Structure 1
Amino acid sequence: MSDGFATRAIHAGQEADPATGSVIVPIHATSTYAQDGVGGMRAGYEYSRTGNPTRTALEECLAELERGRYGRAFASGMAATDAVLRAVLRPGDHVIIPDDAYGGTFRLIDKVLTGWGVEFSPVRLSDVDAVRAEIRPETKMIWVESPTNPLLNIADIAVLAQVARQAGALLAVDNTFASPYLQQPLELGADVVVHSTTKYLGGHSDVVGGAVVTSDEALHERIAFLQNTAGAVPGPFDAWLTLRGLKTLAVRMERHSANAERVVAALQSHRKVSKVLYPGIAEHPNHDVAVKQMRHFGGMVSFLHADGEQAALEVCSRTRLFTLAESLGGVESLIEHPGRMTHASTAGSLLQVPGELVRLSVGIEDADDLVEDLLAALG
């Protein structure tokens, strides 16, 4: 397969159908498969929870895009996250997470895994010394988001991979915000990558899914076992929709990033904005790391409203093109208030987000229209 990202996105795992010549992977809408005698599977398929040809095509493409050997697709990003955590952690183990992690990841660890005897420490991952200080003999994983959700902090993945390796722990990276087009954590030393394919990979806000990619055979076998045993797999139509989205990932990420830069420039000069959070600006504390490990800086932008939480809520209700909604990464622009929406589960914890924070998922509409919409909402 060619080294070109867009070429791999369109062709990896997606050869023309040998029976019909169809250039698009068929939707194999079947729950089971005829066998050639007892135990005689055709092409390795027996039951669609275990394997489905449409899902296989997606998994092969995902692995190619992340430069991994093995890909596994899940029914949601949280199902993928859960599989990785359960594949690695056991009662008594310890995991380090970002101190501004996605609320759903925090909720899973804080409300579910701790009941199983797993301990965790929230740490600012851009502070490598702070990460080292939290490592214990029981530490089995460092969980990274970069950029983080919603504060858009950047972790030095290559450095953290070394720290994890020295501690005998695994480095897992949630690459949802960047996508494999902007950043490839396995190439930087990570052991496993997780995605909510609902977001940029699907790209059209019409499918929910997740993915795990690794080159570690033993880890892959544990994840594959959990995928089949727990059964949180995407249906063939969901896999097909995600494959369709992947074909345009490269061109979409270019437009998301370009539009975000225009939005950031407008926000930086607005008197109602006290701070813009975006790794592409020189003022960002981790800008140099972002430049080193990312192709562009993505379509996610957060900002703090100078007049506080109520003003931030009002901005979220006044936009016309930016739709008030959770999720991100679709072709349409979205706006949300993390403290009341996606990160409400962090209220009262060390991970609570500022009340004046607004998060934008900048879509691929005309940039001039998006800027005009935001400026009107800000007043």
Structure 2
Amino acid sequence: MKPTLQRPVAIPVSQSTAVATPIMPSVVYASQTPDELDAQYSGEIQGYTYAREGHPNADVLARRIDALEGMAGGIIVGSGMAAVSAVLMGLCESGDHVIGGNQLYGRSLRMLSEDLPRYGIETSLADTTDAQKVAEAIKPNTKLVLVEVVSNPTIRIADLDGIAEVCAQKGVLLVVDNTFTTPAALKPVEHGADIVLHSVTKLLAGHADVTLGWVCTKDPAVMERMTIYAVTHGLTGSPFDCWLAERGLATFELRYERAEKTAQRLADFLAVQPNVKMVAYPTRPDHPESARAQSLLRGKGANMVSFEMEGGRSAANAFTKTASELAFAPTLGDVGTTISHPNSSSHRNISEAERVANGITEGFFRVSVGLEDPDALIAAFDKGLKAAKDT
């Protein structure tokens, strides 16, 4: 039999449409002529070339998240921190100044304190619960301000409207990490944000089997710079992860509502336990920014609860070991409840003085509430707290 060349095979055309999005794992896409390839790269025609530069599953997922956030033209990247990198490294250059919230996620703080300065990018932190503090931190060379609407892991609420007004007056980009809040509670672009990002890994995908991020901006020129950085540095997410995340999005709002109701119950339970010193949940009246949470988040509290219990590391060990039904894992947004200990995970590389200043002690835990029966969940916490109290 005479050997033949292996040519790309066209996908069969169907008059009917697939109900579920197909997975398109191809790394490369063949064009017919150099002119056609040029036209694709110049944007004259739609097409794909190489998966690092984009692929169908990423675009389908991006458009779905765009719609949730009320934006257009976002991109999918390999993780939430890849989204942060696309913003900070894609837009900033030597001599610029960046302001971050002083209670950001630990890896974001580490990027600000260690990575950006290596490239000659000046950084500083400010209390984002007070817009005046952010205003005071702005310098002539400030490029952008990075905030979390609800801080990770301390659950403080940023003065988003005030910060947006300050940034607009100063000509500074406002970047909002909306991972904790999600568009179910808040659309940052409606409050003056210039750039919005997500760790899609978390509540949007929701099943602890995906690592992805999303980032979008209102300005096409800014979007192009972030996209070029993401493509050049290989931040693209895989087709399979994108497909899984799209599937997860189908139940996002249902999962959000169920987890939020349980989180409210859990927060109220924790607040009356004798060895619990503090509970942080946005809708509770004892939250430092409760009034702001009611107006900004429209009464939404989402699925994250933080609390501080009596005792040191031994009490923390007893709690996690005894409450064995709960996954002790440094993640959030899963269908199952997870508990995280920032001192030994996300904030382990932050100085002890900084941790203590933000209330992140050995007894501090962050809880991502899942979809379990609320009574069973509370029983597990009760068992763990009693064991911690006895140490």
TM > 0.5 fold call: yes
SS of equivalent to 1:109: helix
Secondary structure of residue in 1 paired with 2:51: coil
Would the aligned equivalents of 1:66 and 1:213 in 2 still touch at CA under 8 Å? no
Determine the C-alpha separation between the residues in 1 that align with 2:234 and 2:353: 32
**Does the CA contact (< 8 Å) of 2:100 and 2:112 recur in 1?**
no
Partner of 1:55: 58
Q: How many angstroms apart in 1 are the aligned matches of 2:85 and 2:344?
A: 24
Q: 1:34 aligns with which of 30, 33, 53?
A: 30
CA offsets, 1:246-277, max 9 Å, x none? 11111111011101001011101100101101
Give the secondary structure class of the aligned counterpart of 2:342. coil
Query: Which one of the candidate residues 93, 98, 107 is aligned to 2:96?
Result: 93
Letter in structure 1 aligned against 2:25: A
How big is the shift at 1:341? 1.2
Give, in whole Å, the separation in 1 of the partners of 2:100 and 2:355.
10
Deviations 1:179-234 (A, max 9, x none): 11121101111001111111001100001011102221111111111121112101
C-alpha contact (below 8 Å) 2:263/2:303 kept by paired residues: yes
- Inter-partner Cα distance in structure 2 for 1:317 and 1:160: 42
Determine if the alignment matches structure 1 residue 304 to structure 2 residue 308: yes
Counterpart of 2:367 (choices 360, 369, 374) is 360
Q: Secondary structure at the match of 2:208?
A: coil
Is the 2:54–2:236 Cα contact (8 Å) retained in structure 1?
no
- 1:159 alignment partner in structure 2: 162
Give 5+ residue unaligned stretches, structure 1: 1-16
| 2:217 equivalent to 1:221 | no
- Contact 1:62–1:213 (CA under 8 A) maintained in structure 2: no
- The CA deviation string for residues 305-333 of structure 1, in whole angstroms up to 9 with x for no partner, is 12344323321222132111111001000
Larger Rg: 2
**Match of residue 200, structure 2, among 192, 197, 201:** 197
Q: Out of 208, 212, 215, which is 1:212 matched to?
A: 215
- 1:312 and 1:133 map into 2 onto residues whose CA distance is 38
Q: CA deviation at 1:101?
A: 1.1
CA contact (8 A) 2:79 2:201 kept: yes
Task: Identify the residue that residue 385 of structure 2 maps to in structure 1.
Answer: 378
Q: Output the CA distance in 2 between the equivalents of 1:179 and 1:52.
A: 25
Aligned residue type for 1:28:
M
Aligned to 2:346: 342
Find the aligned partners of 1:117 and 1:227 in 2 and give their Cα distance: 20
Q: Give 1:19 shift.
A: 6.0
Q: How does 1:1-379 map to 2 (within 5 A)?
A: 21-41=17-37, 43-295=46-298, 296-348=300-352, 350-351=354-355, 353-379=360-386
2 CA distance for matches of 1:111 and 1:325?
A: 25
What amino acid sits opposite 1:366 in the alignment? D
Q: 1:18 to 1:106 in 2, by over 3 A?
A: farther
Deviations 1:275-299 (A, max 9, x none): 1011110111111111112141111
Shift, 1:131, TM fit: 1.4
Aligned to 1:3: none
The percentage of counterpart residues that share the same residue type is 36
d(CA) in 1 for partners of 2:84 and 2:110? 12
One-letter identity of the residue aligned with 2:220 = E
Contact 2:91 2:226 in 1 (8 A): no
Residue range with higher mean Cα deviation, 35-44 or 287-296: 35-44
Distance 1:120 1:301 in 2: 29
Describe the shift of the 1:350–1:122 C-alpha distance in structure 2 as closer, same or farther (beyond 3 A). Answer: farther
Residues 1:83 and 1:249: Cα distance change in structure 2 (over 3 Å):
same
Q: Could you tell me whether the CA contact under 8 Å between 1:101 and 1:148 is conserved in 2?
A: yes
Q: Which amino acid aligns with 1:322?
A: L
Q: 1:354 to 1:18 in 2, by over 3 A?
A: farther
User: What is the CA–CA distance in structure 1 between the aligned matches of 2:162 and 2:301, rounded to whole Å?
Assistant: 20
Cα RMSD, aligned residues only: 1.6
The alpha-carbon distance between structure 1 residues 71 and 259, as it changes in their structure 2 partners (threshold 3 A), is: same
Contact map agreement 1:202 1:246 (CA 8 A) in 2: yes
CA contact (8 A) 1:177 1:298 kept: yes
Three-state SS of the structure 2 residue aligned to 1:105 is: helix
TM-score, normalization by structure 1: 0.92
Cα distance between partner residues in 1 of 2:242 and 2:86? 18
Matched AA of 1:131: V
TM-score, scaled relative to structure 2: 0.89
Alpha-carbon shift at residue 348 of structure 1 (Å): 3.6
Q: What runs of 5+ residues in structure 2 fail to find an aligned partner? A: 1-12, 38-44, 387-391
